[in-house]
Amino acid sequence: MRPWLMEVNISPSLNTESPLDDMIKTRLMSDTFNMIGLKLNTREGSPEREDDLLGRSSRKPVKMLEKLNANNWLEILSNEDWEILFDAVEEEYRTGHYELIFPLKNNIDKYSKYFEVDRYNNHLLWKYK
């Protein structure tokens, strides 16, 4: 067992008071911005962008993925589906010092029940895992 300590701070400060503090906070912010793929020219606040980020833009039924397996990915998935998967893989490469805790193959069933809405894109990513 590897116990972890997670600090939750309601109002974190990014001021630095020592070289160590500066290194830790710089790495944290750099990894965070890289992981989310922050781009200066994004159209923040547009309804289409919000729907896309929240996975609401896809209106495909989740049942479409029931027949998906390793032998028929090419026939079943659309270009939009592949874009979602490529974005997810790219995001994993940008995690920096963060560690992915969900979704993992061994915890999808355990935690997926806590999602309020059954979204196609979530199921696509879980199938991929």
Residues 41-76: pLDDT tens digits? Answer: 555 555 555 555 555 555 677 777 888 888 888 888
Measured from the Cβ of residue 62, the count of other Cβ atoms closer than 10 Å reads 14
pLDDT at 59: 64
pLDDT at 49: 53
- Give the whole-angstrom CA distance, residue 129 versus residue 111: 14
pLDDT at 40: 60
CA distances from 74 to 58, 77, 81, 83, 107 (A): 19, 6, 10, 13, 26
pLDDT at 54: 53
Tell me which amino acid residue 120 is: Y
Which of 5-14, 15-24, 101-110 is predicted with the least confidence, judged by mean pLDDT? Answer: 5-14
Share of the chain above pLDDT 70, in %: 78
pLDDT at 50: 53
- H helix and E strand count, the chain: 6, 0
pLDDT at 75: 85
More confident residue, 56 or 118: 118
pLDDT at 4: 67
